[in-house]
Amino acid sequence: MDRLDRLELFTRIVEAGSFARAARDLNVARSTATNAINLLERETGVRLLARTTRHVAPTPEGEAFYIKARDILAEVEETFGAFGSASPTGHLRIDASGLLTRTFLVPHLPAFLEEYPGLTIAFSQSDRFSNIVQDGVDCALRVGELDDSSLRRRRLGELPEITCASPDYLARHGTPRDVDALAGHRMVGFLSSRTGDVMPLEFVHQGTVHRRHIECVVSTDNSDTAAELARQGLGLIQAPQYRFAADLASGALVEVLGDCRPEPMPLNAIHSADRRVSLRLKVFLDWVSALFAESRVQID
């Protein structure tokens, strides 16, 4: 490893809080990563990382060094990227829900990687609003409003939401014809990643937003699990329409209250606001923005 490689490794370790994860992201052996950081500490003459059996964190000197190293790496990448023939290289960690990744990103990924052969990508999949810097994530795709000022966002579009239930559930509980007919119904609860509470159902009728908490006998913080619970007849569910395309086509789920759908949910690409956007992240953001612009017809 040369000095720039060691700087990149160091920043990844700080952001991930893990030697193993950083080594995996950069495709180097754990022993190589350890030796590189030992050399970096000898070169600087200070201890940069405090290591325990479970976690790695920067020392005060390491925090200051991290800020400078991050800026140097961004400056180097920006310098090379200023020339038209330059092509981005390096590793990207992208976090998004599994279904969104499979539906919109994976089908177009071969063409993207053919255009940028110097990139490698690791996908992690979750629904929660995680600390993307601490988790070592370059960019996360998230549905919903963003209230974290430490993050920067690029709006990709809006996802129409619908309310669904299984035919078996509707046969047992009846089909609600309006919001006031929800008394006696059940819902599959989705737990907010921010509060841990079950989120209410939302409906828009004649420009007015109505939120309803109805009986909930089962809840989850995973959208795939929530969809399966709805298929099993355990309650009404609300989610982006694209999630239920196959279920609606097969009849496994049926849309209800279609004349008072929830407000569409914003879809954002989010990344850290306190550092420059690398060339590799820039080309990914441009690609995913264009991708969702082209996919709008499919989403609707």
What is the model's pLDDT at position 148? 62
What number is the average pLDDT over the span 216-233? 93
What number is the average pLDDT over the span 27-39? 92
Evaluate if residue 299 carries a pLDDT over 50. no
Q: At what angle do helices 3-16 and 30-44 cross, to 10 degrees?
A: 110
Counting Cβ atoms within 10 Å, is residue 199 exposed (0-12), middle (13-18) or buried (19+)? Answer: middle
The model's pLDDT over 57-78, given as tens digits with 9 standing for 90+, comes to 899 999 889 888 887 887 777 6
The two beta strands, 119-124 and 90-95, are parallel
CATH code that applies to domain 1-85: 1.10.10.10
What is the model's pLDDT at position 123? 87
CA 163 – CA 261 distance, rounded (Å): 7
CA 90 – CA 94 distance, rounded (Å): 13
What is the model's pLDDT at position 83? 61
CATH 2.160.20.60 fits 161-263, yes or no: no
Evaluate if residue 152 carries a pLDDT over 90. no
* Domain extents in the chain: 1-85, 87-157+265-300, 161-263
CATH 3.40.190.10 fits 87-157+265-300, yes or no: yes
Pick 46 or 149 by higher pLDDT. 46
What is the model's pLDDT at position 86? 64
pTM for the model stands at: 0.69
What is the model's pLDDT at position 275? 64
What is the average pLDDT score of the chain?
A: 86
Evaluate if residue 106 carries a pLDDT over 50. yes
The model's pLDDT over 225-243, given as tens digits with 9 standing for 90+, comes to 999 999 999 999 999 998 9
The model's pLDDT over 165-211, given as tens digits with 9 standing for 90+, comes to 999 999 999 999 999 999 999 999 998 877 889 999 999 988 899 99
Residue whose entry in the numeric block shows the structure tokens 């007849």: 233
- 204, 260 Cβ separation under 8 angstroms: yes
Lowest mean pLDDT among 94-108, 114-128, 166-180: 114-128
- Domains 87-157+265-300 and 161-263 are alike in CATH topology: yes
